[in-house]
Amino acid sequence: MLRSFISASLMTGLMLFSFADLSTLEAKDPAPLKTLKKDQLPKSMQGLPLLFHENFQSGNSNHWEPTDAKAWKMIEEGDNKAFSLITKRSKYEPPVRSPYNRALLKNISVSDFLFDVKLQSTIPDYGHRDLCLFFGYQDDAHFYYVHFGKKMDDHANQIFIVNGKPRTKISTKTTPGTNWDDEWHHARVVRDTETGSIKIYFDNMQEPVMTATDKTFLSGRVGIGSFDDTGNFDEILLFGKKVK
């Protein structure tokens, strides 16, 4: 349930949430902003302006650049549309050891940002079941990503940097694992480039599940995907400071 269930109303049978509810959205709650019109979107969050919102209701993924377009497709679930990663390990071969499945947001690079995503794992349960979010993306061999893995180890359920060599763990805090099931979940990445802070949230938007501090990449693109699993993505918001 929404802990800050302040205001909700019914519109064409769907729940319409206020912006105040977005910060505390938890697992299995309906995705936020589904029924909001463009002029109803929040203009800022945590002092950062809204740069981009995607709910895929247009039926296309034109704003996204996959590393392997054949690994992704648009899907429909009732009245809802989402962007689906359908190939467990795509044919894309990264230049160094790092995730195989990526789709990057086109034409927007940010320094400080808040990246908010609804995501759903669609792979049968196993120890390294995962989905990933990418940020600070310079090119295919230089970026950060967070790996939401079922069980934590040095290569799973961590924050990583890829800097011209195989991914390296930079987490200073993590959890024993991400408790994946077949439901939709809510993930968030918050970046402060002045301090180098990286905070990762999953379902509980009050306390980060992972943290890191690094200043290697002070701006870059954001993206969605997985190391080598499948999943769905929806209700994506990017607040931040846009850079050229």
- pLDDT, tens digit, 9 for 90 and up, residues 67-79: 999 999 999 988 8
Q: What is the CATH number of domain 47-243?
A: 2.60.120.560
Q: How many residues does the chain have?
A: 244
pLDDT of residue 34: 46
Query: Which of 99 and 8 is assigned the larger pLDDT?
Result: 99
What is the helix (H) or strand (E) element at residue 207, kind and residue range? Answer: none
pLDDT of residue 121: 98
pLDDT of residue 38: 67
Least confidently predicted of 88-92, 132-136, 236-240: 88-92
Q: What is the pLDDT of residues 16-47, one digit of tens each?
A: 333 334 444 343 443 443 445 667 678 899 99
What is the helix (H) or strand (E) element at residue 193, kind and residue range? Answer: none
pLDDT mean across residues, the chain = 87
What is the helix (H) or strand (E) element at residue 64, kind and residue range? Answer: strand 64-66
Nearest to 142 by CA among 228, 92, 217: 217
Phi and psi at residue 21, to the nearest 5°: -75, -20
Task: Give yes or no for residue 88 having a pLDDT over 70.
Answer: yes
What is the helix (H) or strand (E) element at residue 210, kind and residue range? Answer: strand 210-213
d(CA 178, CA 183): 13
d(CA 154, CA 14): 42
Least confidently predicted of 17-21, 96-100, 221-225: 17-21
Record the tokens describing residue 23, joined without a space.
């910060």
Task: Give yes or no for residue 15 having a pLDDT over 80.
Answer: no
Q: CA neighbours within 13 Å on the CB side: how many for 89?
A: 5
pTM over 0.85: yes
pLDDT of residue 167: 98
Average the pLDDT over 83-112 and give the result.
96
Task: Give yes or no for residue 2 having a pLDDT over 90.
Answer: no
Average the pLDDT over 87-112 and give the result.
96
Domain residue spans of the chain: 47-243
